[in-house]
A and B are shown apart, each in its own frame.
Chain A
């Protein structure tokens, strides 16, 4: 079946521009996560959506970062006024959610480069 789909796969933009990254989770998965990973570094948690609950935004590094999840499915991560330190691979993951923690399944990521 279809896995987690992310777009674009690569994005190059100039410093100061806004970018939108999209994630389409696995059908039926109620939990959706955004992470970023800088070159050679571990995963950095950004935000987590679970069903209709308020998202856990505790990992967002600044108010330039925001995310939405419309209709409990597709999610968009927006970075405003991008900075060079925002360059990283942005990974989206989804899981079944629920009371017992299920493993996360990752998309291929969006490689973001800020010039």
Chain B
């Protein structure tokens, strides 16, 4: 099983739609989780951290399920500007290590 797995998509949705992405991770010792977005030919940018209790930032909601080892990102009322690749990021666990980036899920919001 890969350390971090995401459905590559693409997810093609109309403006205003609600879309959800899931990401699974293999290391049960992982403690930190993030969603990044990456626009075409640009660097990844932090979208939001994912907390155990779930968290919301405007139209974006992130949730963590430790038992099943997956995190999710929900985008409500999709905008054209949401079109990007969404990267799931998980730390490798323990006191050493690094963040592992998923290959990303591509979202395309159409008018």
The residues in B between 55 and 111 inclusive whose CB is less than 8 angstroms from any CB of A are 87, 89, 91, 95-104
**Closest residue of chain B to A99, judged by CB?**
B95
Contact residues on A (Cβ < 8 Å of other chain), bracket: 10 to 19
A109, B104: Cβ atoms closer than 8 Å: no
**Closest residue of chain A to B91, judged by CB?**
A101
Which stretch from A39-47, A63-71, A79-87 is at the chain B interface?
A39-47
The residues in A between 94 and 115 inclusive whose CB is less than 8 angstroms from any CB of B are 99-101, 103-109
Q: Which 7 A-B pairs rank lowest in CB-CB distance, beginning with the nearest?
A: A42-B103, A101-B32, A106-B43, A43-B101, A101-B91, A103-B46, A48-B98
> Complex formed: what's the CA distance from A103 to B43 in Å?
14
Known A106-B43, A106-B44, A106-B45: A101·B99 in contact at CB below 8 Å? yes
Interface residues of B: mostly helix, strand, loop or mixed? Answer: loop
How many A-B pairs with Cβ below 8 Å? 42
Query: Does B27 have its Cβ within 8 Å of any Cβ on chain A?
Result: no
**Closest residue of chain B to A91, judged by CB?**
B43
> Complex formed: what's the CA distance from A100 to B98 in Å?
11
**Closest residue of chain B to A105, judged by CB?**
B46
A56, B96: Cβ atoms closer than 8 Å: yes
> Complex formed: what's the CA distance from A45 to B49 in Å?
20
> Complex formed: what's the CA distance from A48 to B46 in Å?
19
Known A41-B103, A42-B104: A107·B98 in contact at CB below 8 Å? no
**Interface residues as binary, B2-35 with A (CB distance below 8 Å gives 1, 0 otherwise):** 0000000000000000000000000000011010
Name the distance in Å between A47's Cβ and chain B's nearest Cβ: 9
> Complex formed: what's the CA distance from A107 to B44 in Å?
9
A42, B43: Cβ atoms closer than 8 Å: no
Q: Of B31, B42, B101, which is within 8 A of A42 by CB? A: B101
B34, A103: Cβ atoms closer than 8 Å: yes
**Closest residue of chain A to B6, judged by CB?**
A42
Known A101-B31, A103-B49: A56·B98 in contact at CB below 8 Å? yes
